[in-house]
Structure 1
Amino acid sequence: MLTAQDDLIGHQLPTTYDHVGTSDPAWMERLWYTGHPKNGEIIFDIGLGYHPNRNVMDAFAGVTVGNIQTNFRVSRRLRPNPLDTEVGPLKIEVLEGLKRHRLTLAPNDSGLSFDIEFLGTMNAHEEEPHFRRRQGRVTENMMRGQQLGVYQGWLEVDGERFEITPDDWLGQRDHSWGVRAEMRSDESHPPVTFYPPFLYAWTTVQFADHGLHVFFKERAPGDFIYLSGEAVGPLGQRPDPKLRMTGVSHDITWADDPHGQRVESATFDVTLADGCTRQMHLRTLPARYYLKGGLYGGLNGWFHGDDKGKLHTEHDRWDLSDPAIRTLVRTICDHVIEVRIDDEVGYGIMEYGVGKGYARYPQVQQHPAI
């Protein structure tokens, strides 16, 4: 169907913008944002998924303050408004590409609402292509771009209002699209995705005038199945291919946590294409947002892209000090970090997990990695 976007230059197919070049139901497009103050005591996550071959758009927003994580989830039928990035009370607007985005959540039963603007400060990082086949079938063929920035606006949860100022609130966003590998960790609704031994870490950090993206997955130490990263400069500065990441090694210290995998600190030695190595000393700060709240891996039988009807909303509040909640939310989270490289201090987030059978870090492998 014709939409306003069809008046713009840039068509890649002899059809309208609401169609993609494959009928694979796994094709999706996702917008994602996270932000936090430098003290790492609060974190918010916001995301939106576009599923054109399933006729669904879903979205989530959540915030962790102390030990309490508040989640809001919403889904709608995609058509007849396929390209409107608005799902119920949650809306994402690209005001200026690669520079300014506006994120709003109108008052609703979850007790969470906000009006926040993302302001890009660093050049975006274009990840290396993601491509996988399994038994001859393409299970992943997607690309992703990431960008560091700051936030301004306000956020309110349970009647408490937080003013968000760009001198204190940093963040990161990404935009991905293509065929995305299925991730199912909701044990109440099998099948559950099987993972061979692995370690993965996705890390972004922002300093005063530059940033660093580090993303790797490996089957064994040094045996990479995916590697992408880059040292980025301020917005508008010409990217330098010599600053792409070519290798990384790690030494991770895990917290003594009986309820799940939790990184306490880590050292990453990152090698760039120019031959230089940057040693990152990471320590985790208090706030984590567990991505189960946004349906990553599925929750209570609801998975990304599921048709929940014309409009459907859910919300919940989790006490992260409750062992039963920690069992539910598993490991995958956005964890605020402080990073030191030489005399510079920066802030960002880290996602991580180590699977059973990986050759290091056996002390946490009794807990699920995803």
Structure 2
Amino acid sequence: MIPTIAALTGADEFFNHQIVNTFAAVASPERAWTEKAWFTLMRKDGSLQASFGLGKYANRNIVDGFAGVQIGTRQMTVRASRLLSSAPDEMGVGPLGYAVVKPLEAIRLTLAENSAVPLRFELTFHANMPGFFENRDVVIHDGRAASDVIRFHQAGTVSGWIEIEGERHEVNPDEWYGFRDRSWGVREHVGLDPADLAPVSGHGVSGGNKAGSAFHFNWLVSKIDRADGSSYDLAYYFRDFGGEGPPAYFSGYINESDGRQIPILHLYPEIDYRASDRGAMRGTVTAIIAGRGKSVEERVFEIEAINPEMGFRLLPGMYGEWKGQIHGSYKGEAFLDGETIEDVNNPAKLAETYRWQIRDRPVRITEGANSGYGDMESIILGDYPGVRIV
């Protein structure tokens, strides 16, 4: 062992090095450095939904992840964590498995029989669109890069099976759709903050507490089909305080199946959210893109929840603190737990924390005669332009 060189791993056999070290090390010493995969997979009729996430935290020596399903208003979630050094070349953790069948085309996700919940599955994501990047997400706060992340998302179909309490559900690609994303960089909400930090100034920090402010976070990915067989994707992500001027962060594109990304200059969502749980119900999204010369073009998309009761909650997947756990935190050399929540739409859950709003909401999306499916995530706080509480 040489003190200035990290451990040798199987990945070092391949000609992919980009820093003067092994693959056991990353270029940044930041503890929040993260590499992550996420999937949301849904039946087109809104009756069943699966979710999966995996994170690698090289500077924390941690791999963790979650997997689960929602059926009706019932959500079952499994969480697992381990030391990265226990198996540095493996991409799974506990009963959660992740395998690249064909890069950028097919990924296999598995949840083995486990002691946390009576749930297991084997699902393969098959891409039917290219992967599309979002704008780099950089937040500088009080002189520190609180976030510096790149992310791509991809639409696809799903095949395989899900077994819930011994009942097998076949997953037919014609009846399912889904999305995945991959991200890497310095990320918010990784481990607990040190206790000796100076007070946070203002609401604008990406990972700060947003209670007491007018705040809107909205993320949408989609796949929309034309009659000629081509497809495109309305994809945007913004977070903002107050609604005055441009958002604090915005990324928006209309992505074509031939790989083109058409930038959205300005976006205005007008969405109805259910009062009891802030679930997105229906509405329109107006996207303004550049035309010829000084002209601009408005494109209007209609959005509607496929099933108002569906939307896998991400807080039990550790997107935010849950049961004292958060992404990247040390939970022991090998950790496994989970639970079944019988009614995810119970208003009492939202009363506990505004972060309960974050869910993967299956939606239908149309633009004129073109139609397809999407996934929307959102947080609504206070009075914000375009937001209607119904």
TM-score surpassing 0.5? yes
The reply to whether residue 155 of structure 1 matches residue 162 of structure 2 is yes
> Which amino acid in 1 is paired with 2:266?
G
Residue 83 of structure 1 and its aligned partner are, at CA, apart by: 3.5
2:366 corresponds to which of 327, 331, 340: 340
Given that 2:218 and 2:378 are in contact with CA atoms closer than 8 Å, whether structure 1 keeps it comes out as yes
Summarize the Cα distance change of 1:120–1:363 in structure 2 as closer, same or farther, 3 Å threshold: closer
The answer to whether structure 1 residue 26 and structure 2 residue 32 are counterparts is yes
Q: Per-residue displacement from partner, 1:329-368 (whole Å, max 9, x unpaired)?
A: 621111110111101221111001122354564858xxxx
What's the counterpart of residue 227 of structure 1? 250
Amino acid at match of 1:17: F
Match of residue 249, structure 1, among 268, 271, 295: 268
Match of 2:17 among 11, 23, 38: 11
Q: Return the letter of the residue paired with 1:252.
A: I
**Which one of the candidate residues 278, 281, 288 is aligned to 1:271?**
288
The within-5 A match list for 1:27-42 is 27-42=33-48
The yes-or-no answer on 1:62 pairing with 2:81 is: no
CA contact (8 A) 2:30 2:59 kept: yes
Give how far 1:22 is off. 1.3
Partners of 1:30 and 1:47 within 8 A in 2 = yes
State the Cα distance separating 1:167 from its structure 2 match: 1.1
Q: What residue is the counterpart of 2:208 in the other structure? A: 193
1:203 aligns with 2:217: no
State the match for 2:132 in structure 1.
Answer: 125
Report the CA distance between 1:277 and its aligned residue.
2.8
- Equivalent residue in structure 2 for 1:77, among 69, 79, 83: 83
Aligned AA (1:315): G
Equivalent pair of 1:125/1:213 in contact (CA under 8 Å):
no
Per the alignment, in what secondary structure is the counterpart of residue 308 of structure 1?
coil
- Alpha-carbon distance in 2 for matches of 1:132, 1:256: 31
Task: Show the counterpart of 2:118.
Answer: 111
TM-score by length of 1: 0.90
CA deviation map 1:81-138 (0-9, x unaligned): 2231110111101121110100011111211111111111001111101111111111
Which residue of 2 is the match for residue 240 of structure 1? 260
Q: What amino acid maps onto 1:70 in structure 2?
A: M
**Structure 1 contact 124–232 (Cα < 8 Å) conserved:** no
- Show the counterpart of 1:136: 143
CA contact (8 A) 2:363 2:373 kept: yes
Q: Could you tell me which runs of 5 or more consecutive residues in structure 2 were left unpaired when the two chains were aligned.
A: 1-6, 193-198, 200-206
TM-score (norm 2): 0.85
Q: What residue in structure 2 maps to residue 93 of structure 1?
A: 99
2: CA distance, partners of 1:361 / 1:123: 32
**1:309: which partner in 2?**
332
Q: Which 5+ residue runs of structure 1 have no aligned equivalent? A: 186-190, 365-370
**1:177 CA drift (Å):** 0.5
Instruction: Report the equivalent of 2:379.
Output: 353
In 1, the alpha carbon distance for the partners of 2:146 and 2:323 equals 24
Q: Which residue of 1 aligns with 2:304?
A: 283
- Equivalent residues of 1:63, 1:69 under 8 A apart: yes
Q: In the alignment, what sits opposite 2:240?
A: 218
In structure 2, what is the equivalent of residue 176 of structure 1?
183
Larger radius of gyration: 2
> What amino acid maps onto 1:349 in structure 2?
D
Task: Give the direction of change, closer, same or farther, for the CA distance of 1:281–1:360 in structure 2 (3 Å limit).
Answer: closer
Separation in structure 1 between the aligned mates of residue 132 and residue 87 of structure 2, nearest angstrom: 30
The letter of the residue matching 2:260 is D
In structure 1, distance between residues paired with 2:335 and 2:154: 30
Indicate which of 353, 357, 372 corresponds to 1:331.
357
Deviation, 1:57, is 0.4
Q: RMSD in angstroms over aligned alpha carbons?
A: 2.1
Structure 2 CA distance for partners of 1:252 and 1:101, relative to 1, 3 Å: same
2:223–2:373 Cα contact (<8 Å) kept: yes
Map 1:37-48 → 2, pairs under 5 A:
37-48=43-54
Q: Distance in 2 between matches of 1:76 and 1:272?
A: 46
CA–CA distance in 2 between the matches of 1:231 and 1:223? 19
Cα separation, 2, equivalents of 1:184 and 1:89: 22
| Overall identity of the aligned pairs, in % | 30
Please name the residue that 1:367 is paired with: none
Structure 2: distance between partners of 1:88 and 1:183: 20
In 2: Cα distance, 1:225 partner to 1:352 partner: 15
State the alpha-carbon separation in 1 of the partners of residues 89 and 298 from structure 2: 43
Aligned residues: 353
8 Å CA contact 1:148–1:206 kept in 2: the answer is yes
Runs of 4+ displaced beyond 6 Å: none
Counterpart CA distance in 2 for 1:198 and 1:9 is: 45
